[in-house]
């Protein structure tokens, strides 16, 4: 793809800016959740634990929108030009986020958040493909990481600022600000994204063939369950800051920024690591995520430990994200847009699952750190599924070796045990 250096940088920036808007609208909700609950959930002041658990459906509704929209939009857009698809999705995000800030009731806000989630998976899918195309062959992991970089940077800048804006001007203004971000993305995309023609030979039937693969479904399950561990903690970070660590509300933005820095660092490492060995990255990183969640459950009441462990949870979760997405794209084969979008559907099943189960244990009176134990269980289950997936790739005779060898390196028996397969 021949682009001038300046246009190449602007095109990549535009794709990342859209991801920045998505990251802000998705994750700033965690920071403003108590504000939205106070405004929308009747009886919140009388029963804060039950009210915040009920308000968690604002998070889950968006996540479910992603789950529904990712495959539907990807199949519908199979023949479409990637540039045209980015433009249409940016329009959808603008309208839905504006509606999220204007709806007068809890039920209508839930509906608006569901609609706002519909373009999410397809956007990251097409952005990943465009970024990989712009960056050139052999840079798929880096392309995915770059497309996701806006999402992770949003957690450093957009989410804390969105939380602050919600605190000083009202939570609705957070979503209005996100709508403005997407308007800017739309304008830039119109001028700088390259014209990539659609493929008239593609069809819904052809795209959906990818779902015949048990390997694909297994990796989708890894994302659905494994990522739930991260979201069980992240969804209720605001309550952890104020009700557990007993810090002022202004510290919420700092904790979210800390998680965001961890996510950004993890995303960079994940893109680099995925281009070298997806297998090694998965096997090393999942146990680190599980350990971070367990330590958070034990020591999250202590402010310094809370910040350090929140960084670790963000970092380890984001190392896995581009790795799992790149693996799903490889397994999906020709249906690469569907594969790329499906990872974000899986990611947001984890979002909905983590938020729902985390809210349930809070509502049951187990405390605001209890969701971290839910996170341990979900991440542990995701890790077991990931090992199963890797074992299928290696075959029954070498499955055990693949796990041991990825961690320990070559054996003296002459067996090549470091996996260098890209898928």
Rounded Cα distance, 147 and 145, in Å:
5
Domain assignment of residue 183, yes or no: yes
Q: What is the dihedral of CA 206, 211, 214, 219, to 10 degrees?
A: 120
Residues of 380-391 as b/e, b for ≥16 C-beta within 10 angstroms? bbbbebbbebbe
Sorted by sequence, the CB contacts under 8 Å of residue 27 that are 6+ apart come out as 154, 155, 158, 159, 234, 256, 260
Q: In sequence order, which residues have a C-beta less than 8 Å from that of residue 149 and are 6 or more positions away?
A: 16, 19, 264, 267, 268
Using DSSP's 3-state secondary structure scheme, residue 125 falls into helix
**CATH classification of the domain holding 237:** 1.20.1250.20
Which residue, among 19, 372, 364, has the nearest Cα to 189 in the 3D structure?
19
CA 310 to the chain's CA centroid? 16
Other Cβ atoms within 10 Å of 48 Cβ, number: 17
The pLDDT value given to residue 394: 61
Residue 417 domain flag:
no
Domain assignment present for residue 419? The answer is no
The answer as to whether 345 is a domain residue is yes
Domain that holds residue 9: 5-408
234 pLDDT above the threshold of 60: yes
Phi, psi of 207 (to 5 degrees): -65, -45
For 275-317, the pLDDT digits (tens) are: 778 888 888 999 999 999 999 999 999 999 999 999 999 999 8
In a domain, 255, yes or no: yes
**Residue linked to tokens 């015949």:** 212
Global pTM value: 0.71
Torsion sign, CA atoms 275, 276, 282, 288: negative
**How many domains would you assign to the chain?**
1
Q: Is residue 337 pLDDT above 70, yes or no?
A: no
Considering the domain boundaries, does residue 61 fall inside one? Answer: yes
- What was the pLDDT predicted at 50? 79
């Amino acid at each position: 793809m021949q682009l001038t250096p300046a246009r190449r940088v602007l095109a990549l920036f535009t794709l990342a800016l859209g991801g920045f808007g998505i990251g802000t609208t998705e994750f700033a909700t965690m920071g403003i959740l108590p504000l939205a609950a106070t405004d929308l959930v009747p009886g919140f002041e009388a029963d804060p634990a039950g009210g915040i658990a009920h308000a968690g459906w604002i998070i889950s509704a968006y996540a479910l929108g992603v789950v529904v929209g990712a495959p539907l939009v990807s199949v519908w857009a199979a023949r479409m030009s990637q540039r045209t698809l980015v433009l249409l999705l940016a329009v959808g995000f603008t309208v839905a986020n504006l509606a999220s800030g204007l709806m007068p009731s809890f039920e209508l806000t839930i509906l608006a958040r569901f609609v706002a989630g519909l373009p999410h998976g397809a956007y990251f899918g097409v952005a990943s493909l465009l970024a990989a195309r712009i960056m050139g062959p052999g840079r798929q992991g880096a392309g995915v990481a770059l497309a996701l970089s806006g999402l992770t940077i949003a957690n450093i800048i957009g989410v804390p600022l969105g939380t602050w804006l919600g605190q000083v001007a009202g939570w609705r203004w957070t979503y209005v600000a996100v709508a403005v971000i997407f308007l800017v993305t739309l304008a830039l995309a119109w001028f700088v994204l390259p014209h990539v023609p659609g493929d008239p030979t593609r069809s819904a039937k052809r795209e959906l063939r990818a779902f015949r693969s048990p390997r694909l479904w297994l990796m989708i399950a890894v994302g659905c369950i494994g990522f739930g561990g991260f979201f069980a903690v992240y969804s209720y970070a605001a309550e952890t800051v104020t009700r557990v660590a007993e810090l002022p509300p202004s510290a919420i933005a700092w904790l979210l920024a800390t998680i965001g820095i961890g996510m950004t660092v993890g995303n960079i490492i994940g893109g680099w690591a995925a281009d070298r060995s997806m297998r090694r990255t998965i096997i090393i990183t999942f146990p680190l995520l599980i350990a971070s969640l367990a330590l958070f459950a034990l020591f999250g009441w202590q402010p310094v430990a809370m910040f350090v462990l929140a960084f670790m949870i963000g970092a380890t979760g984001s190392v896995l994200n581009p790795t799992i997405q790149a693996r799903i794209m490889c397994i999906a084969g020709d249906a690469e847009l569907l594969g790329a979008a499906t990872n974000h559907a899986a990611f947001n099943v984890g979002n909905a699952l983590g938020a729902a189960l985390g809210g349930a244990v809070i509502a049951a009176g187990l405390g605001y750190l209890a969701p971290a134990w839910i996170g341990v269980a979900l991440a542990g289950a995701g890790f077991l599924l990931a090992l199963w997936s890797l074992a299928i790739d290696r075959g029954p005779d070498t499955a055990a070796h693949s796990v041991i060898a990825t961690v320990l390196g070559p054996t003296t028996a002459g067996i090549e045990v470091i996996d260098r397969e890209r898928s």
